[in-house]
């Protein structure tokens, strides 16, 4: 009766399985609730497949280890939660600047600081975007069920390789700890982007930061056949530091454009009952499950209501949001923070006055009842 690839697992396990499917062969991390099961599972599975698992002394060391491992040709990941993600911000910027593919999982819990370790939150959306200093772009993805956690995690590895950038997986405690079914795709069912390696031969000069015509930067395993420099300073095509205004401008434009010019390729989202909707929820992660519950329930009663579930949070798919919200009367952003995606939606739409927030910030998953109550107030019907 059971197809052998069906598993009943936690979201964290779905993420770890997907990382292995995508080719992960190096993980360094410092276990922290609610992401611990990712490290736990990989500590068993990676050595079995010839990969490396290292438990580091802290999160700063963890991200530095994966950056180094990535440069030597590995597909790498670390997993943490808010406090650890804060510690990783400096090295995250280094990976952005040096264009090093890596995947960083942040299973969100209540913050700031050590906050509410075992409870759910979506308070790190803006930290994912702007946690590290300086102008830059970043990719951050999320998901609301285990099948999507799997495909999104594979996407994260693919995007990290394609755009040579850190990619952040922004999950949350509810989705990470709950168990539901996962159908692990057959090998080959999902596309895997492998490391683009340089064809430059040994003994021939290799320019690590000279893009090909299509804008992509082939890599050479560090410590291998080519000698080159890697730095967090602005750098020339050799990887050596430079403050030449032309080089600084060109590199910064490149770092931003390689992501912002590909918003359409990076945008992942799902539409539910959008076509004739007068009210549209916008949500993501576990709160999107509650929003979808309300949508199905209200649809059964004839209400014209829909849901836009965002899976790409950064770069923010503003054009998608603007188009979907153009004709609707009311937009309600459902999230577990004080309105971090709400701000982006308000900036994206033509009429920010019709955008409202339905939130919960007490560490409990926002319920369909919470959403319905807030919706009634928004509609002027009282509680």
Partner 1 sequence: MERIRMVFSGSGGQGVITASIIIAEAAVLYENLVAVQSQSYGAEARGGATKADVIISDSEINFPKVNHPNLLVCLTQEAYTQFSPTIRPGGFLITDTRYVKTHNRVAARQRELPIYQTVMDNIGKPVVYNICMLGAVISIIDIVRPESVMKVLEARIPANLIDINKKALELGRKLGEPFKEL
Binding site for partner 1 (CB under 8 A): 1-2, 6, 8, 117-119, 174, 177-181, 286, 289-290, 292-293, 296, 365, 367-369
Decide whether 118 or 379 has the Cβ nearer to partner 1. 118
Output the smallest distance, CB 11 to partner 1, in A: 10
Decide whether 99 or 370 has the Cβ nearer to partner 1. 370
Decide whether 97 or 182 has the Cβ nearer to partner 1. 182
Cα distances (Å, whole numbers) of residue 171 to 17, 71, 194, 286: 15, 26, 24, 8
What per-residue string of b and e applies to 280-310 under the rule 16 or more CB within 10 Å gives b? bbbbbbbbbbbbbbbbeebeeeebebbbbbb
Output the smallest distance, CB 112 to partner 1, in A: 18
Query: How many other C-beta atoms can be found within 10 angstroms of the C-beta atom of residue 8?
Result: 11
Decide whether 16 or 104 has the Cβ nearer to partner 1. 16
Output the smallest distance, CB 178 to partner 1, in A: 4
Output the smallest distance, CB 368 to partner 1, in A: 5
* HSE-CB of 7 using CA atoms within 13 angstroms: 16
Output the smallest distance, CB 272 to partner 1, in A: 10
Which residues are CB-neighbours of 54 under 8 A, at least 6 positions away? 27, 28, 29, 65
Output the smallest distance, CB 265 to partner 1, in A: 29
Decide whether 136 or 289 has the Cβ nearer to partner 1. 289
Output the smallest distance, CB 54 to partner 1, in A: 27
Q: What is the C-alpha to C-alpha distance for residues 137 and 173, in angstroms, rounded to an integer? A: 26
Output the smallest distance, CB 298 to partner 1, in A: 13
Which residue do the tokens 């971090």 mark?
Answer: 340
Decide whether 100 or 107 has the Cβ nearer to partner 1. 107
Decide whether 73 or 117 has the Cβ nearer to partner 1. 117
Residue 155: exposure state from Cβ atoms within 10 A (0-12, 13-18, ≥19): buried
Output the smallest distance, CB 300 to partner 1, in A: 12
Decide whether 144 or 158 has the Cβ nearer to partner 1. 144
Q: Note whether 88 and 80 are within 8 A (CB).
A: yes
Decide whether 25 or 290 has the Cβ nearer to partner 1. 290
């Amino acid at each position: 009766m059971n197809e052998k690839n069906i598993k009943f697992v936690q979201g964290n396990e779905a993420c770890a399985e997907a990382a292995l499917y995508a080719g992960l062969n190096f993980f360094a991390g410092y276990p922290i609730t609610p992401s611990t099961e990712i490290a736990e599972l990989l500590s068993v599975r990676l050595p079995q497949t010839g990969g490396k698992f290292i438990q580091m002394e802290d999160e700063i060391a963890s991200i530095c280890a994966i950056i180094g491992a990535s440069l030597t040709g590995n597909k790498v990941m670390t997993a943490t939660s808010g406090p650890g993600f804060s510690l990783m911000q400096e090295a995250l910027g280094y990976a952005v600047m040096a264009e090093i593919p890596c995947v960083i999982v942040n299973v969100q819990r209540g913050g700031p600081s050590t906050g509410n370790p075992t409870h759910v939150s979506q308070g790190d959306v803006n930290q994912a975007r702007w946690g590290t200093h300086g102008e830059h772009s970043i990719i951050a993805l999320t998901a609301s069920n285990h099948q999507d956690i799997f495909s999104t995690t594979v996407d994260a590895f693919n995007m990290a390789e394609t755009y040579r950038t850190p990619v952040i997986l922004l999950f949350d405690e509810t989705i990470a700890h709950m168990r539901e079914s996962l159908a692990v795709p057959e090998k080959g069912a999902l596309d895997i982007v492998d490391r683009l390696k340089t064809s430059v031969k040994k003994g021939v000069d290799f320019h690590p930061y000279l893009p090909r015509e299509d804008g992509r930067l082939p890599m050479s395993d560090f410590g291998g056949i080519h000698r080159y420099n890697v730095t967090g300073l602005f750098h020339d095509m050799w990887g050596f530091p430079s403050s030449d205004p032309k080089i600084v401008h060109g590199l910064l434009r490149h770092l931003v454009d390689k992501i912002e010019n590909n918003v359409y390729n990076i945008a992942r989202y799902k539409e539910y009952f959008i076509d004739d909707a007068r009210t549209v929820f916008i949500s993501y992660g576990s709160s999107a499950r509650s929003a979808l519950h309300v949508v199905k329930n209200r649809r059964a009663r004839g209400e014209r209501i829909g849901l836009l579930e965002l899976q790409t949070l950064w770069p923010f798919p503003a054009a998608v949001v603007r188009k979907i919200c153009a004709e609707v009367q009311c937009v309600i952003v459902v999230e577990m923070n004080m309105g971090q995606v709400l701000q982006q939606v308000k900036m994206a739409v033509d009429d920010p006055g019709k955008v409202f927030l339905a939130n919960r910030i007490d560490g409990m998953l926002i319920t369909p009842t919470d959403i319905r109550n807030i919706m009634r107030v928004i509609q002027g019907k009282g509680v």
